[in-house]
Structure 1
Amino acid sequence: MNPTDLTDTTVDESIYSNYYVYESIPRPCTKDGIKAFRKLFLPPLYALVFLFGLLGNSVVVLVLFKYKRLRSMTDVYLLNLAISDLLFVLSLPFWGYYAADQWVFGLGLCKFISWIYLVGFYSGIFFIMLMSIDRYLAIVHAVFSLRARTFTYGVITSLATWSVAIFASLPGLLSSTCYTERNHTYCRPRFSVNSTTWKVLSSLEINILGLVVPVAVMLFCYSTIIRTLQRCKSEKRSKAVKMVFAVVVLFLGFWAPYNVVIFLETLVELELLQDCTFERQLDYAIQATETLAFVHCCLNPVIYFFLGEKFRKYIVQLFKTCRGPLALCQPCGVLQMYSADTPSSSHTQSTVDHDLHDAL
């Protein structure tokens, strides 16, 4: 019964008493506007991120196999970062359809898509962190890096990184489930006991592994790199510093807002923040910052293209060879390798580090 209907009944103290008790109960925080926003804006945004992320990172993979032939640690990290981003973007068509309608893909795909989304999320951030350490070794400890930055160590650390990413994403795999409520099918993490505790732990995991640890490592590595480059007199020093600056700023700019709103959502779960208007605004912020964070997986190829001279040369050469993205000609085959980057020793200068090494 609607509370306003009670005023039309016979005047009675008990009725008025029940009315005021009912009015004192907090009303549910309705979020119909958020659902409409999600249906309208998220599917096209996810589609754009999927297309650009798929195209850009596929080009990176082609360049690495076709020209670089994975001879250095950084090239191994670049390949794994591109694979992480591809894994991440492959889940977006499912989330786009889910945002527009409901989950129609069943329990198995619910768990699998949730899992590869998290694996791509964690592994992508971890490989960005590893590339920061790799650049730190190459610039700050150049002599030691000749022994440490090898293909073998790159493969070993990459396998370890994938293992950590898979382990970190296991709670999401186990808790994700498919259920129907009010004629709407959901695919969400659902906890049978201590749901608030698990939600808080999940948010803390995302903030610590997805922001705090990577930012701490990147700030240390790149601040040391910049100090080292400042002591070097080279015409390409400014270009190297620009690449360092771009990596850090873009990572913080695209991931930090999402982690901040996730932290605020944790405070709401703990009932430290209780306001319906704030919760609605927070839900809008989650949708916006999450989409912004998704865009980051499209930016790594852009950074390499505009700030890496060798990488830009390889991309131009690749498209000249293929003469079109849909061409199925023989020269465009991935397995046909070119000697565009023939090493002169057991240690090969990586694509992205080219400008950084020249800065020395």
Structure 2
Amino acid sequence: MNPTDIADTSLDESVYSNYYAYESVPQPCAKAGVRAFGELFLPPLYALVFALGLLGNSVVVLVLFKYKRLKSMTDVYLLNLAISDLLFVLSLPFWGYYAADQWVFGLGLCKLISWMYLVGFYGGIFFIVLLSVDRYLAIVRAVLSLRARTLASGVVTSLATWAVAVFASLPGLAFSTCYTERNHTYCRTRYPANSTAWKVLSSLEVNVLGLLVPSGIMLFCYSLIIKTLQRCKNEKRNRAVRMILAVVVLFLGFWAPYNVVLFLETLVELEVLQDCTFERHLDYALQATETLAFVHCCLNPVIYFFLGEKFRKYIVQLFKSCRGLSVLCQPCGLRLDPADASSSTYTQSTADQDLRDAL
């Protein structure tokens, strides 16, 4: 699964008529317009996502090391989520250039960038799921969380999550290759000849590990969290519920369309759907929804800043400590309270406080 993996079937129609001598042989679907659309549409969007994702997630990493000091399971998960997003966005300049022209970086970088992209993709989604479980433990299972939500547990589960992400990305690493065809160099996932099974399994892997399982876990955790918060008579309860809904809606809104289109692409591979016009529309939709999904890696820092009370204070404090940036913050009238000292020992507190700490 590489970005811009649109089949190049844009040969001249006269070539088709000369090559396919028999009408019984189906002609490939011409998609020259799809590729031209990608050359215009993808590079600037990839550049924008790269810039915003790099800036936002770098700020998250700085805040976690400078102020939070990685003293809890939540901090470890937030750090690994930011690293996953950074790994993901660092591959986008290469895909942007590739979409605009062709692959000029060689076979080694083709495999490396494809692998970085997939590891960042799976890692980002998996750590969002772990943060959902972490919030569930903190609010719904407060007693159990005394034993489970430790720094050591966060490190161990993070290492296991990275191992799963690397394992899930191995097919992409193995089958990504660089080749030249009709004076154009490609970096694509090429499976063995006549191996439709690998293509189908790859798409199903993205759908299952990238949407179905994470969505199921998140909906389970957050539905019980909301149910628990409904019993709390706290003025910040409604804000906490809105926070939860924002996380779930953003995840589903940005990833579900891409997974639906990818599933339809699988049906095309299986020849369940056979219509040239539909295939072209599907390829346009794939480019659009894939770019929409990429934007989600930029939204995680935004969620922390606007919805996480402590995190917002830390980020403002970080900007105030930077010479030159402090002048920009003065007109805002922001006053920071001293940052609360983080503790490696978890004590049972109110549900809303746990939720704010988790975010």
TM-score by length of structure 2 reads 0.87
Cα distance in structure 2, aligned partners of 1:111 and 1:2: 33
Which amino acid in structure 2 is aligned with residue 175 of structure 1?
A: F
Distance 1:345 1:302 in 2: 26
Cα distance, 1:343 vs structure 2: 3.7
Aligned counterpart, 1:14 = none
Counterparts in 2 of 1:354 and 1:67: CA distance versus 1, 3 Å: farther
AA at the equivalent of 2:170: L
1:297-344 residue CA offsets vs partner (Å, 9 max, x unmatched): 00001011111111111111110111357xxxxxxxxxxxxx833245
Alignment of 1:73-112 (within 5 A): 73-112=73-112
| Closer/same/farther in 2, CA of residues 293 and 64 from structure 1, 3 Å limit | same
Does the CA contact (< 8 Å) of 1:310 and 1:354 recur in 2? no
Letter in 1 for 2:203: S
Shift of 1:27: 3.4
Whether 1:252 and 2:246 are equivalent positions in the alignment is: no
1:340 corresponds in structure 2 to 339
Letter in 1 for 2:192: S
Distance, in Å, in 2 between the alignment partners of 1:290 and 1:116 is 16
Counterpart code for 1:136? Y
Closer, same or farther in 2 for the Cα pair 1:251/1:224, shift >3 Å?
same
Report how far residue 357 of structure 1 moved.
5.7
- Rg bigger for which structure? 1
SS of the equivalent of 1:218 reads helix
Distance in 2 separating the partners of 1:88 and 1:307? 24
* Structure 2 SS opposite 1:285: helix
The Cα of 1:142 is off from its aligned counterpart by 0.9
| 1:192 Cα offset (Å) | 2.0
- Indicate the SS of the match to 1:257: helix
Contact 2:54/2:89, CA 8 A, preserved across alignment = yes
**Which AA in structure 2 matches 1:99?**
A
Contact 2:138–2:354, Cα closer than 8 Å, also in 1: no
Q: Helix, strand or coil: the match of 2:160?
A: helix
- Give CA deviations for 1:164-187 in whole Å, capped at 9, x if unaligned: 000000000000000011111110
Q: What is the CA–CA distance in structure 1 between the aligned matches of 2:274 and 2:70, rounded to whole Å?
A: 52
Q: Measure, in 2, the Cα distance between the counterparts of 1:74 and 1:344.
A: 12
Give yes or no for contact 1:68–1:340 (8 Å, CA) kept in 2: no
Query: 1:22, CA displacement in angstroms?
Result: 5.0
Structural mapping, 1:237-276, within 5 Å: 237-276=237-276
Structure 1 gaps of 5+ residues are 7-17, 326-338
Query: Which SS does the other structure have where 1:27 is aligned?
Result: coil
AA at the equivalent of 1:248: V
Displacement of 1:248: 0.4
Question: Equivalent residue of 2:192, what SS?
Answer: coil
Q: Tell me the residue number matched to 2:172.
A: 172
Number of residue pairs matched by the alignment: 331
Q: 1:348 to 1:167 in 2, by over 3 A?
A: farther
User: What amino acid maps onto 1:44 in structure 2?
Assistant: P
Distance 1:211 1:173 in 2: 21
Retained in 2: the 8 A contact 1:91–1:116? Answer: yes
Q: Matched residue of 2:346: which SS?
A: coil
State the SS of the aligned residue for 1:55: helix
Letter in 2 for 1:164: V
| Structure-to-structure mapping, 1:134-283, within 5 angstroms | 134-283=134-283
Secondary structure at 1:288's aligned position in 2? helix
2:298 & 2:257 partners in 1: Cα distance?
Answer: 17
Give secondary structure in 2 for the equivalent of 1:103.
coil
Shift of 1:147: 1.5
1:74-93 per-residue CA deviation (whole Å, 9 max, x = no partner) reads: 01000000000000000000
Question: 1:11 aligns to what?
Answer: none
Match of 2:335?
none
Q: Percent identity?
A: 81
Query: Cα 1:28–1:193, aligned 2, differ >3 Å: closer, same or farther?
Result: closer
Instruction: Note the aligned Cα RMSD (angstroms).
Output: 2.5
Structure 2 unmatched runs, 5+: 1-11, 326-337
TM-score w.r.t. the length of structure 1 is 0.87
Deviation, structure 1 residue 28 = 2.7
Residue 311 of structure 1: aligned partner: 311
Structure 1 residue ranges, 4+ long, deviating more than 6 angstroms after superposition: none
Separation in 1 of the partners of 2:13 and 2:72? Answer: 70
Are 2:139 and 2:354, in contact at CA under 8 Å, matched by a contact in 1?
no
Relative distance call for 1:194 and 1:26 in structure 2 (3 A) is closer
Residues in 2 aligned to 1:356 and 1:341: alpha-carbon distance in whole angstroms? 15
Preserved contact between residue 77 and residue 158 of structure 1 (Cα < 8 Å): yes
Structure 1 residues 357 and 48, CA gap change in structure 2 (3 angstroms): closer
Question: Does the Cα contact within 8 Å between 2:203 and 2:263 map onto a contact in 1?
Answer: yes
Give the drift of 1:273: 0.3
Cα distance between partner residues in 1 of 2:144 and 2:106: 51
Q: Please list the CA deviations of residues 80-117 of structure 1 after superposition, one character each: whole Å capped at 9, or x if unmatched.
A: 00000000000000000000000000000000000010
